[in-house]
Chains A and B, each alone.
Chain A
């Protein structure tokens, strides 16, 4: 008995029992479809988390002022006024640092013509676009000379553009009033979308940090220093360099607490991404259980089929089938059932995923590996759960099988 003949026998037997074959397959179809849909949802969630982390900036290190104690009351981090733009310039000299930008934040009403809007005014350095991996949509970005001349220029995020210039006219060259000072709009940013925390990152007006300090906050200190390490591997060494540099500059000796705090987003990114992976595996695990149940369904039906066809098996043996041929026939039936079920399951799963993406508006992603894995796994289910019934059929005694009523 060659493979082709065995395959034909198996398919003939399955076609002769269409209804039963289809019902048996259904278990595998549902199992595989469930695996694909859940994995697609899980992977989609993980990728969208990764994307929003990436949008926070690459290889980012953030320096915040530390806490201060005044009359026994401790402020939280950021309470101290300890970071200066000069700290930033010193950090920029460290090896492994690609860019540094001081960040000065203040919320304020912004007025343009007849429209006004309360938004985040952020004072930054020209390196900010690089650190945030954020591209300019039109015009130009802040320059070193804007910073040096404390220029009254501003670059608008897209949300601010739509709020202040609803008519669709170009805001470039227009004047916006921030805290009584007129700023000339020199550029607009592309859409960055929501941050990992759900904040609208486009609801912002970017100005030179020097201008923000001089005209908006009136302080000599900044809220944050954003540092971009040259490579991901350099994030941790740069972080410790920054700590010792700032400790020196702020003349802090060990028992004294630091008046600043340095953090990077890698731990956060890794945690978020591994949470996604765990979720994905958990979902796939649940779906795999349904695949397993489908497999047990196959075994159940194959057992019934062996009993029901005992006389047929006896006859096949009498006319010359070897035990191996009988084993192969039943095993092939089971594998064909589960593989066809698996393929149908892939189609149903992909359609289901598209439906979920369209109706629930969930991000989905079908990793191609999982398609092969689930079809392969369902074939394995066929072998595993088909073997016992096939073995049982092959070891029947021909006379007992022929006599079976």
Chain B
């Protein structure tokens, strides 16, 4: 089994004074290699919390999570940082590019922490920027670029360490409809032609429509988990 993510009875509880808020109330989910999965649900459904735990930015309260066969709960903070660096890619709603830093340097950033030699960093960064069609913007600063271009930089950045899983958190939330569709086509392409595993978090059905599988969260539980028969393109 080429399981990338295996989650069993995952719970996340936030204490709120004497009370507590159950963000995830026992979630089971598996993500196989090559999947393109959309996680949907209204705000407060637990979908973002789920993404943060899968992305190792946060820890679950209980339950088990294994990533590529490793028990994540047993990992130290440094080991989790190393997995984020080498096996995970992130794309955020607000792009999160470093200001006053060229597109190329932004794309290179994860490789700096992964210890990739400088000479190879440039080749890899340019290759990934070429894939998302923004190689010509290498020396532009983020504030000289449109939202769609900035998000492409962020996607190139998520690709540089050849991750096992890309986590995209509302990647089109700040973009207009046409640009949103362009960005989603890039994800579709990456999944189809390069077999990259993608987990997309969104609350918009027409964005989720690009995925192969749609999981819907409600009140900290999985409401439905179905293959997407009518894929957008």
Residues of chain A touching chain B, judged by Cβ–Cβ distance below 8 Å, are: 1-2, 5, 9, 12, 16, 311-312, 314-325, 397-399, 402
With contacts A323-B78, A323-B81 known, is A1 near B96, CB below 8 A?
no
Residues of the B chain whose Cβ atoms lie less than 8 Å from the Cβ of A319: 84-85, 90, 109-110, 113, 157
Residues of the B chain whose Cβ atoms lie less than 8 Å from the Cβ of A324: 78
The reply to whether A322 and B82 form a contact with Cβ atoms under 8 Å apart is yes
Segment of B50-58, B129-137, B171-179, B207-215 engaged in the interface with chain A: B50-58
For window 28-57 of chain B, which residues contact chain A by CB distance below 8 Å? 52, 55, 57
The reply to whether B55 and A318 form a contact with Cβ atoms under 8 Å apart is yes
A372 → B minimal CB distance (Å): 33
The contact sample of 10 A-B pairs, CB cut-off 8 A, is: A1-B113, A16-B99, A315-B98, A320-B85, A322-B77, A325-B113, A397-B58, A398-B57, A402-B92, A402-B96
Residues of chain B touching chain A, judged by Cβ–Cβ distance below 8 Å, are: 52, 55, 57-58, 77-78, 81-82, 84-86, 90, 92, 96, 98-101, 109-110, 112-115, 157, 161
- Point out the residue from B52, B86, B113 that lies within 8 Å of A321, measured CB to CB: B113
The reply to whether A318 and B112 form a contact with Cβ atoms under 8 Å apart is no
- Point out the residue from A321, A322, A399 that lies within 8 Å of B58, measured CB to CB: A399
Residues of the B chain whose Cβ atoms lie less than 8 Å from the Cβ of A314: 96
B76 → A minimal CB distance (Å): 10
A50 to B52, CA, bound (A): 72
- Point out the residue from B55, B86, B92, B100 that lies within 8 Å of A16, measured CB to CB: B100
The reply to whether B81 and A402 form a contact with Cβ atoms under 8 Å apart is no
- Point out the residue from B81, B86, B114 that lies within 8 Å of A317, measured CB to CB: B81
The reply to whether A9 and B92 form a contact with Cβ atoms under 8 Å apart is no
Residues of the B chain whose Cβ atoms lie less than 8 Å from the Cβ of A397: 58
Q: Which residue of A lies closest to B58 (CB)?
A: A399
Residues of the B chain whose Cβ atoms lie less than 8 Å from the Cβ of A311: 96
The reply to whether A320 and B98 form a contact with Cβ atoms under 8 Å apart is no
A315 to B157, CA, bound (A): 11
The reply to whether B112 and A16 form a contact with Cβ atoms under 8 Å apart is no
Residues of the B chain whose Cβ atoms lie less than 8 Å from the Cβ of A323: 77-78, 81
Interface centre among A5, A12, A16, A402 (most CB of B within 10 A): A402
The reply to whether A322 and B110 form a contact with Cβ atoms under 8 Å apart is no
Interface centre among B55, B85, B112 (most CB of A within 10 A): B112
The reply to whether B113 and A318 form a contact with Cβ atoms under 8 Å apart is no
A312 to B142, CA, bound (A): 14
The reply to whether A321 and B81 form a contact with Cβ atoms under 8 Å apart is yes
* Known pairs A319-B85, A320-B86, A323-B77 / 10 extra A-B pairs, C-beta < 8 Å: A16-B99, A314-B96, A315-B98, A316-B109, A317-B81, A318-B84, A318-B96, A319-B157, A320-B82, A322-B81
Q: Which residue of A lies closest to B82 (CB)?
A: A320
A317 to B85, CA, bound (A): 9
B99 → A minimal CB distance (Å): 8
Q: Which residue of A lies closest to B105 (CB)?
A: A12
Among all A-B residue pairs, the 9 with the closest Cβ atoms: A320-B85, A319-B110, A320-B113, A16-B100, A398-B57, A322-B81, A315-B96, A320-B84, A399-B57
Q: Which residue of B lies closest to A311 (CB)?
A: B96
A1 → B minimal CB distance (Å): 7
B48 → A minimal CB distance (Å): 9
Residues of the B chain whose Cβ atoms lie less than 8 Å from the Cβ of A16: 99-101
Interface centre among B82, B90, B101, B113 (most CB of A within 10 A): B113
A149 to B36, CA, bound (A): 122
A312 to B95, CA, bound (A): 11
